[in-house]
């Protein structure tokens, strides 16, 4: 189905996309997409590295209309990396109207993932089933549109006939104004963005129905601040291979299930293997990502509680084995971020002759704090083997544009 053509008929005068001082109705976006689609051929790889969000929105719908394969790319990617991504996209098996997205590459290099229109539609339906849809919804997109989180907002808004509000880059102050002024009813961020919005003074949410926070486990201090501020912050869990979210809290569940990523969404099955790895299946999962046993092996560790709510501990390969004991990096990071002097933190294991690995903390400090003070803070809140043995101060952590720490770039 051509979602844009349908919305041009049913919601022609309704804003489809909006940005800083501009907006386009569904009829206007439909006309622009038709013009661009005439320049494309069915099955060709349509590489979309547009710097303007409006141009990207047009390309997304034009590619689908022409039966081309959309390949979103970061316009800031260097020439050598862009060539590698293009070569990988050309080798991937994809059909007309499919999308080839690349994983974040936080531990290894980005990998191509082929998503079908059916995958995107199933994701949008599952999200609507959980959060509901209001005719005047305006979903704030501050996530990169060439990653699944941003693209999903654009596509699901078209499926719903609502409005996607696109910010060309994340600016904490601008995002705060959009929320506090009632410009948007929904928003999606990662934890780093939410922390920066808190620091920029976010204190109210006029008309905001839900603020989805994904990209990994959310530090408890952020969730506690959001609850105290009255922000409808909902943890969510998903990945490129699942066309966005597959588990998300509901607003009425947020306080009672603080720290959970919610129950599996409509059509999603989740279970754990013997290692505690999260396994997923459902209609939004990319076929190429499914293992022979019929499940997507996410590489994330977690558990389902007695009420069926998912708790995510972090990446399996981010588990540090020190002296035979397992340490989840995310747990230690959560403790570090609760210290008032710590603005940002990441934790990794480093080789050690005696213990095999030791826990090393990489911290960005807002104010002075000694190693001894940070160590004491951690020992008070963690079992001794989990407390960092070394602290390395950085000016900033290596993060990708989705806000995730790129651990292979830690010193």
Domain limits, CATH 3.40.50.12780, in the chain: 3-314
pTM recorded for the entire structure: 0.87
Q: Quickly state the pLDDT bin for 61 (edges 50, 70, 90).
A: very high
DSSP string computed for 310-376: EEEEEEGGGEEEETTEEEEHHHHHHHHHTSTTEEEEEEEEEEETTTEEEEEEEEEESS---HHHHHH
Residue reference for tokens 């569904």: 26
Let me know the angle formed at the C-alpha of 155 by 2 and 300, rounded to the nearest 5 degrees: 130
- Dihedral class, residue 102 (left if φ above 0, else alpha if ψ from -120 to 50, else beta): beta
Identify whether the C-beta of residue 301 lies closer than 8 Å to the C-beta of residue 279: no
Domain limits, CATH 3.30.300.30, in the chain: 323-409
Which numeric CATH code is attached to 323-409? 3.30.300.30
- Domain 3-314 annotated CATH 3.40.50.12780: yes
pLDDT tens, residue by residue, 345-387: 999 999 988 888 999 999 999 999 999 999 999 999 999 999 9
pLDDT at 408: 84
pLDDT tens, residue by residue, 393-407: 999 999 887 778 888
């Amino acid at each position: 189905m051509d979602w844009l053509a349908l919305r041009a008929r049913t919601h022609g005068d309704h804003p489809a996309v909006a940005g800083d001082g501009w907006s386009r109705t569904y009829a206007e976006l439909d006309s622009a997409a038709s013009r661009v689609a005439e320049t494309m051929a069915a099955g060709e790889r349509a590489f979309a590295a547009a710097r303007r969000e409006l141009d990207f929105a047009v390309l997304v719908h034009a590619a689908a209309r022409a039966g081309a394969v959309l390949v979103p790319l970061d316009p800031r990617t260097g020439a050598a990396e862009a060539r590698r991504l293009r070569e990988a996209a050309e080798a991937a098996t994809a059909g007309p109207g499919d999308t080839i997205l690349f994983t974040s590459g936080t531990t290894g290099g980005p990998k191509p993932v082929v998503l079908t229109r059916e995958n995107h539609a199933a994701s949008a339906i599952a999200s609507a089933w959980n959060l509901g849809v209001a005719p005047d919804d305006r979903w704030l997109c501050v996530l990169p549109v060439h990653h699944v989180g941003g693209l999903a907002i654009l596509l699901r808004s078209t499926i719903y006939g609502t409005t996607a509000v696109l910010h060309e880059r994340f600016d904490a102050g601008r995002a705060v104004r959009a929320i506090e002024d009632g410009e948007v009813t929904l928003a999606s961020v990662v934890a780093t963005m939410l922390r920066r919005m808190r620091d920029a003074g976010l204190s109210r949410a006029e008309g905001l129905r839900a603020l989805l926070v994904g990209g990994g486990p959310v530090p408890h201090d952020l969730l506690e601040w959001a609850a105290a501020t009255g922000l409808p912050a909902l943890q969510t869990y998903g990945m490129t291979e699942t066309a966005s979210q597959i588990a998300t809290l509901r607003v009425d569940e947020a306080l009672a299930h603080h720290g959970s990523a919610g129950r599996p969404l409509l059509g999603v099955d989740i279970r754990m293997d013997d290692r505690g790895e999260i396994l997923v299946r459902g209609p939004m999962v990319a076929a190429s990502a499914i293992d022979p046993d019929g499940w997507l092996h996410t590489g994330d560790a977690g558990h389902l509680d007695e009420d069926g709510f998912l708790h995510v501990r972090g990446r399996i390969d981010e588990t540090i084995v020190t002296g035979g004991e397992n340490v989840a990096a995310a747990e230690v990071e959560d403790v570090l971020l609760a210290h008032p002097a710590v603005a940002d933190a990441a934790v990794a294991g480093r080789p050690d002759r005696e213990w095999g690995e030791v826990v090393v903390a990489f911290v960005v400090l807002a104010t002075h704090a000694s190693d001894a003070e940070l160590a004491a803070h951690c020992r008070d809140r963690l079992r001794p083997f989990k407390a960092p043995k070394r602290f390395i101060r950085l000016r900033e952590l290596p993060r990708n544009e989705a806000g995730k720490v790129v651990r292979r770039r830690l010193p």
